[in-house]
Every structure is written in C-alpha cells, then in structure tokens.
Amino acid sequence: MVKIRLFVAAFMILALTACGIRVSHVDWIDFVRFNGIEYIAVDYFGGASGRGLVDADLGPEFARVKNKCAGTTLFDPKCSRDGDAAYLDSGTPVYIVKDYNPEFRLAAYRDNRLVLYEADTNPKAQTGADLLDIGGKVRYIGVNSAEDGVTEWAAITDPEQVAVLVELVLGAPVDQSRPTQVGAQYFIAFHLRDDTIVSRGYSPGRLNVGIMLPEAFGTAVEQALLSATPTRP
C-alpha cells in the first residue's frame, strides 16, 4: 500500500510540476509498519470506530518507530521499511492492544491522543483471520451507508448468525493484489464486545482489503437490508 500511494503521489507531483505548480509537501495516510505489515489509523478506514482507546486497553510495548516519513522527500526509500510511520516521531513506543493479536491491532500516542491502528496489508495473509482478529468478539454486525460509513441501514443481531458470518469472514481467502476497493456499496461494521468497532468497505464478494467473501455472506447482507425498516434511498 505504501508503494502504491507513493506511485500515485509521484505521478500527481510530476503532473503538477509539468504545469508549473510547485508541490511543497506530501499528505501521508497515518500508517505504521512492522514485520512487513502495514497498519492504518482506524480513522482512515472510514466508517464507525466505536469508543476510543484508554490506557487500560494497552498491553506491553510492541516496538518503537524508527523513522517518521512526514517531512521527508517523496522518494525516501526508508518510507517503505519496517519501523516507518507517517506521523509518529522516531522513538515513539507502539503498544499491543489487550486481547488482540498484534498482527491485527496496535496503538500509539500521537499529539497526546491514543491512536488505534489496524492491519491494512499483510503479505503473509492467507485468510481473513490473518487480517482481522474478531473471532468470538463480535456482538452484532451493522450494514452502514457507503456515503458516511456511519448511518446504519441494517443490523444482524442473532448471535448464531453473527457467529456463522464471522467465521465466513475469518475463513475467506485473501487476495491483496488489488488492494484499492473502488465503489464500495456499504460499510460492514463489526460491533465488538468491548464497544470498539471494526469497519471495512464492502462490495458483493469482497471486504476491504482483499478478503474474498463467499456468496452466503452477501446473501445475509441483502436479507438484512430487505428486512430492515426502509431508511435508505
């Protein structure tokens, strides 16, 4: 994802430069990278995020940031290496989040605010479980508007159905060769038992980023929408 963002940004800068427009900085997505996994601040995923983290949610220190990318030149090769972060200063401690696999969630303080990061891309991911550590943690599943990611159009609340759908997600194969999802139909919001929310863009057969869902998941989403009080266009 970092390399893709750099390529797009480079193309835009070259185009602007050709037009005589001077570009003075690059706007980075708020990311951190460790062990080949790129984590994105939950605000950048879009959709609902639930409650914010507090100190009590933090486990042991996981690692420390080695390099802050914001403020560096666009083509700095260090900005695609382990230990890189967009906005966290070098030396910033990054923590495990209690009760979650560190390959899924990490947290760090930025500007005196505790920021939650979730895995976006993982080159070793083979199934949804390698990207989302939500098994046994989901209270209900919301189907939210793609426009704001927050307006809930339908909800799947039956515990047995929720458990089945979560297992479908965790067992689904992963294909991150096409990481950018265009034209998401909805956001799927997994409301967790600790009142945080995991929200990802969704279009039939695909949950962002690269979780290839079986038809049964899409059928459940459509049935939930049909059963809901009509509040959408």
Residue, of 123 and 70, whose pLDDT is higher: 123
Nearest to 188 by CA among 204, 177, 170, 201: 201
Residues 146 and 92 in one domain: no
104-113, 133-142, 177-186, 208-217: range with lowest mean pLDDT: 177-186
For residues 96 and 210, membership in a common domain is answered with: no
Q: Tell whether 71 and 164 lie within a shared domain.
A: no
Tell whether 112 and 138 lie within a shared domain.
Answer: no
The predicted structure's pLDDT at residue 21:
40
Q: Which of 179-183, 189-193, 229-233 has the highest mean pLDDT?
A: 189-193
Q: Are residues 146 and 114 in the same domain?
A: no
pLDDT, one tens digit per residue, over 18-66 is 444 444 455 788 999 999 999 999 988 777 778 999 999 999 999 999 9
Cα separation, 233 vs 230, whole angstroms: 8
Residue 7 has pLDDT above 60, yes or no: no
Residues 154, 63: one domain? no
78 pLDDT above the threshold of 70: no
Q: Examine the domain organization and report whether 5 and 115 are in the same domain.
A: yes
Q: Is residue 233 part of a domain?
A: no
CATH of the domain at 3: 2.170.150
Higher pLDDT, residue 144 or 184: 144
With a cut of 80, say whether residue 104 has pLDDT above it. yes
Beta sheet of 138-145, edge-to-edge order: 152-156, 138-145, 186-192, 197-203, 206-207, 211-212
Mean pLDDT of the chain: 85
- Same domain assignment for residues 79 and 175: no
- What pTM value is reported for the model? 0.84
Q: Which tens digit of pLDDT belongs to each residue from 182-221? A: 556 899 999 999 999 999 999 989 998 899 999 999 999 9
pLDDT band at 226 (very low <50, low <70, confident <90, very high): very high
Is the CB of residue 114 less than 8 Å from the CB of residue 107?
Answer: yes
In a domain, residue 163? The reply is yes
Closest Cα partner for 77 from 42, 117, 33?
33
All residues at 6 or more sequence positions from 129 whose CB lies less than 8 Å from its CB, including other chains = 135, 170, 171
How many CB atoms neighbour CB 76 within 10 A?
15
Number of domains in the chain: 2
**Which of the listed residues 77, 96, 124 is the one where a domain comes to its end?**
124
State whether 92 and 151 are in the same domain: no
**Domain enclosing residue 36, as ranges:** 1-124
pLDDT score of 86 more than 50: yes
